[in-house]
Structure formats: C-alpha cells, structure tokens
Chain A
Amino acid sequence: MLNQLTISELAVKLSKREISAREVTQACLDQIARVDGKIHAFISHDPRDALAQADAADKEISSGATPVQKPLLGIPIAVKDVLAVKNQPLNCGSKILEKFISLYDATAVEKLKAAGAIVFGRCNMDEFAMGSSTENSAFGVTKNPWDIARIPGGSSGGSAAAVAADEAIATLGTDTGGSIRQPAALCGVIGLKPTYGRISRYGLVAFASSLDQIGSFTKNVSDAAMMIGVMSGVDPRDSTSVPQPVPDYVAALDGKVKGLKLGLPKEYLIGGLDPEVKAAVDAAVKQLEKLGAEIVEISLPHTDYAVATYYIVATAEASANLARFDGIRYGLRVDGNDPAELYSKTRGAGFGAEVKRRIILGTYVLSSGYYDAYYLRAQKVRTLIRSDFLKAFETVDAIVTPTTPTAAFKIGEKSGDPLQMYLSDIFTISCNLAGNCGVSVPCGFTKSPRLPIGLQLLGKPFGEETMLKLAHAYEQSTNWHREKPPISAAV
C-alpha cells in the first residue's frame, strides 16, 4: 500500500511515473477514512484540496520536474495544528481559536510547498502544545495506534499517530520540552527536533519562544534528514533563526560511525526507569558499540533540576505569549461591560485547564516580588544545565539516553496529576533548555502489551549530521522502525 512507503521510496516511483501523486494522496485519505475514527490523529482535513494539490504535482511531474529540483514533489505531509498554512484552519487544539483561518504560510510550510509537498490536514495536539499526552485538546483525545486505550504522547500526539498509522507519509510537529521526541518514542516512529534556530519559527504559534522548535515525524532517519534539509535556514522573518549553512543531511548518512564517541549519562539510568525500557536501551547501546561507536560514561549533574527549571521558564514565556488571545482581533470573544471584563471572560471560557494552569504559574513566577526567586533563579540554573552539555560535548560527539522513562501510559492515568505528567518529559526537557538537537528512534517493544520504546540521541548545537549519522547506522542495523501497528496493517 502506497501510504506505507517512505518519502525516498515514493520519490523514486513518482519520478519513474510508476505511480501518481493522486494515487499516493488517495491512499492516505483512504487510510484516514478507515482508521482515524478510532485514532483521531486529525482535527480536520480537506480531501478535495489535498487531491487538487496532488493533481498539480502530477502535472509538474509530467512536465519534467525531478526530485533533485523538488525533493518532496507529490508527497502528502500533514501539519501539527499550531503551524500556519494559508487558507487552512489553525486551532492550536483550542476553543479560543476555533474558527481561525490562517492568512499566510509558516516559513517551514512555505519551504515544504516549494519542495513540492502536498501540505494537508491539521494534526491534533495538546492545547497550545501544553501537555505530554494529547489529552488536553479541545477537539478530543488522540489514541495510540499500538493500543487505542493508551495515549500517543504529546504535545504533537496527532502528528506522531498519523505517521505510525500510515495516514500521512510524514508530518510536522513542534518540540518545546520533548513534544516531538516523546510521542515519536511512544508511537514507534522517528521524531527529530533540530537545534534551536535551525528552522524559522515564523508562522508557528508561540508557546515558549526560547525553547520552541519545529521538526518532523517520519518512518526512517533518511526521510528525517530530507525534511530538515528542506526546512532549515535563516529567515529574515525570525530574528532567532541562525545564519548557519545548511549541509546535505542525507549525504551525511554514510554509516561511518567507527570511532565516534557516544556519551551515556549516568543520571539518565536511575529511578523510575521501566526495566523493559532500560533493557531495550542497553541493547541499543551495545548495538551502537558493535557498529564501532565508542561508549563513554558521562555526567550531566544538573539533570534532576531540568523539569523544575523548564516549568518556570516555559510558563513565564507562555504567560507573555498567550496574552495576545484577548478576544479583540481574532478568535473567541465573550462580551463584557468593559475591555478588561471582556478579556477575562474570553480567556476564562476559551482556554482549557492546563493552559490556564500554565499561564497562571507563569504570571506568578514573573510577578513583582517573585521574579528573582523563581524566574531569575531558573534562568541561572538553565546556565548550569547548558554548561553540563557543553562540557560533555568537549569529549563526546553525541549523547545516548532513553527517550521516555516508560512506554505509553493509559488514557486518564496521569491527567489528574499535572506534576506526574510533567515528570514524563524528564529525559527530553534538558535538550531544549540547552539548545541541542535531538532525535528519537525506535529501539524495541515492551512484551505485553506490545508497545514501542524509543532511543534518544542528542547532538551538539548544529550537530545534526553526526547525530543523524549515528541514528541512521543504528536504525539500518535493526528492524524496529519497520514494524507496523496492527491497525495500520489490517485491511
């Protein structure tokens, strides 16, 4: 089935005209019709628009366009509901933006379109990307394709589930504290968070501006390298995008990992780590050693402080960023006698519980009398966390850890206890605070029920080539990434 193929497999078949972009798109739409009632990876999608884009791609192919010019020509790619796609809805999983239609394309989306991609569908997410389970969406819960009684992870849960269930060839997500890598691990797909500043954030609805980064969900590492290559680069519309040359990431996947030094942080292999996850990660580390990587034990001593630091920095930034949702220029409005009453009523009615919790926490840590004790202190601890990584990267080329402490948990299991939910991101959060890149690749399954386990590789800032080289070499020596959830395979 065409919807099960990778970008590179489809690109070959499309350019030889063995298949059409319409057939590929139709296969994805058919799969959505067949399985998305159970999974709910999508908030909305427009089949007619997707097919019209496919027909346009087919026209280009027949008039001679090649994958070299347009590497994503005819490839259907779905987008997390936090990224602007011109004339498509943009809800951020929130009631406050229920009727919003985007006026322009995000830079990442513009680049995908320029590379020929069919950009379709709005993937479900935790409201404003705040959550680790996609239970916080105002549009319903997304289910894990491997077990629909369980969460897909979050906040990009819809994007991860859509790729795992073969409803799209690849998807975009965003990662502020693990929101790409964690759901990728729990759904058994590849989730790549590039270095902060690698991909422009223009057209991404901001949650925490110093941490947010756009990335991809794909079925293998080579497709991830392709996606990031297309989307990367400096953008005058995002002053935090970094003017660093964009290398050929696919060419970096040459299997030459012999002699690369891989750090194993001792702080990541303690307490709370599920024994099955530990066993899978241990086996993956042995496999990387067998491939020629040199494993070095390292220490990231401030790991234990990352979650606390994150929930000050991220909520502080969110409280400022989400001030724009005031019921005046767009979105929901609940009338009041004066503007202040209108703001409060609109925000009280429009935001869900987790968003309110974080805005209020962020407001508190920035408020007069508490700023130094909370926000400034957290920024200083962030320096310590970042220094840990900079020091480690003096001796190692990349770092290897579990992506999550456990496999996917049950729907409802942690939704009543925000702190327990926050702690499920314990292995992914430091990376955003430090500004590194990270990727999660499948590295095994739990026995019963059979649920995916993720291996996380962390690279230096702008060290995507080496990190992806290692991820690719590991992936190519295993078959974990080829496994399909029963719901996708069954016809």
Chain B
Amino acid sequence: MAAAEIDIKYVAHLARIALSPDEEKKLAAQLGGILGYIEKLNELDVTNIEPTAHAVPMVNVTRADEIRPSLPHEDALRNAPKQANGLFIVPKIVE
C-alpha cells in the first residue's frame, strides 16, 4: 500500500458523483493527506490475523417466511421526485 496518487476522476466516476474541477483538486489533496495518515497501518504485522467485519458476529439470522403487510404502493411513491401511473419515472434507458 504505497501512498498512492488517487485518480480522483476515476474514483468519482465509480462513486457516481459529479465534481467540479475545483472540487477535484481540493479533494485529491485532502485525500492524499488522509491516505498518507492511513499508511500507519503498514507498521503492523497482520499475518494470520482474521478480519473482523462485525464486532458482535451472528450468523444465519432468519425470520419466519410468512406473508406480511409491506409498504403500500402509494406510500412507496410519496417521496418520489417524478412519478406517473403508479411508477417511478426515469430517463430513457434503451433507444
């Protein structure tokens, strides 16, 4: 994990966030500083250490497979920025 030069345009594209050129410049510098600090973790030997994803690990948590009431259709659409005929409206995907 070298103190990598972060390709801000590429990562912002992966994250689907449009940035202005000013934002790109500022973020690249700030993230460079943060990644530099994170380098600290290289001081540690982590050979044979298991990763922790959850502090209180629980596995195979299931609930009864029963039909229950869910969000009513009109409620699900209540906060939609654009809707019609009971559907979310999105830009054209297929020509």
Contact = CB atoms under 8 A, between A and B. Distances in A.
B51 A308 contact: no
A347 interface: yes
Interface string B58-95: 10010100000001000110111110000010111100
Contacts of B34: 311, 361, 418-419, 422
A104 B72 CA distance: 11
Contacts of A336: 91
Given A240-B54, A374-B1, A331 B79 contact: yes
> Interface size bucket, A side?
35 or more
Interface string A248-279: 00000000000000000000000000000000
A383 B40 contact: no
A179 interface: no
A79 B82 CA distance: 29
Interface stretch (A50-58, A95-103, A147-155, A469-477): A95-103
A378 B46 CA distance: 10
A340 B63 CA distance: 36
Nearest to A337: B91
Contacts of B38: 308, 311-312, 374
B16 A381 contact: no
B56 A196 contact: yes
Contacts of B6: 364
Given A305-B41, A434-B55, A381 B18 contact: no
A381 B88 contact: no
A376 B51 contact: yes
Interface of B: 1, 4, 6, 8, 11-20, 23, 27, 30-31, 33-35, 37-38, 40-44, 46, 49-56, 58, 61, 63, 71, 75-76, 78-82, 88, 90-93
25 contacts: A100-B79, A101-B78, A103-B78, A103-B79, A104-B71, A305-B40, A305-B43, A308-B40, A308-B41, A329-B79, A332-B81, A340-B16, A342-B90, A347-B15, A348-B19, A351-B17, A353-B23, A356-B23, A356-B27, A377-B42, A381-B46, A382-B51, A384-B44, A435-B54, A435-B55
Interface of A: 99-101, 103-104, 195-197, 210, 236, 239-240, 242, 302, 304-305, 307-309, 311-312, 319, 323, 326-333, 335-345, 347-349, 351, 353, 356-357, 359-361, 363-364, 367, 370, 373-374, 376-384, 386, 418-419, 422, 432-435, 461
